[in-house]
Amino acid sequence: MTDVRITDRRPAGHRRVPLLAEHQLDHYPEFRDFLRDAFGLREDPFGPPGLLDVDGRCYELTFAGYSGRPFPAGVRVAALVDGLEPLDEAQVDRDLWAILRWLVAGVGGDWTVEALDTTGRIYRIPGLS
């Protein structure tokens, strides 16, 4: 099982590689609320981006606000890759899937990791292991 956890340790000497963007968090307010609570966005919406450690690899979550919509209205995920090393696309796919599982498990309620896994298998999403 992949370990996903929030961290405040930004690795030095890493570059950002954009991976995923979701501009419509308000479709499912439960996801926005989970991200607000997990990253303390209610208390400090202008703080630094959120960081996730996925088995020692770091990912940055940048939260976006859009006029007239509750914050955060969107989120962007980037890998923090060591120096000029190439991006390991297969590993990133597995890590993104782990981040989605972490998010769905955190939201809970009608959202289940089992349903996410089933959807991934149906659509043959890369990185689903």
Quick one: pLDDT at residue 25? 86
How far, rounded to the nearest angstrom, does the alpha carbon of residue 37 sit from its chain's CA centroid? 14
| Residue-wise pLDDT tens digits, 30-81 | 999 999 999 999 999 989 999 999 999 999 999 999 999 999 999 999 999 9
Q: At what angle do helices 113-123 and 89-107 cross, to 10 degrees?
A: 140
**Selection from 96, 99, 94, 2 nearest residue 56 by Cα:** 2
- Tokens at residue 31, please? 């996801």
Quick one: pLDDT at residue 124? 67
| Residue-wise pLDDT tens digits, 81-121 | 999 989 999 999 899 989 998 998 898 888 788 877 777 76
Domain ranges of the chain: 4-123
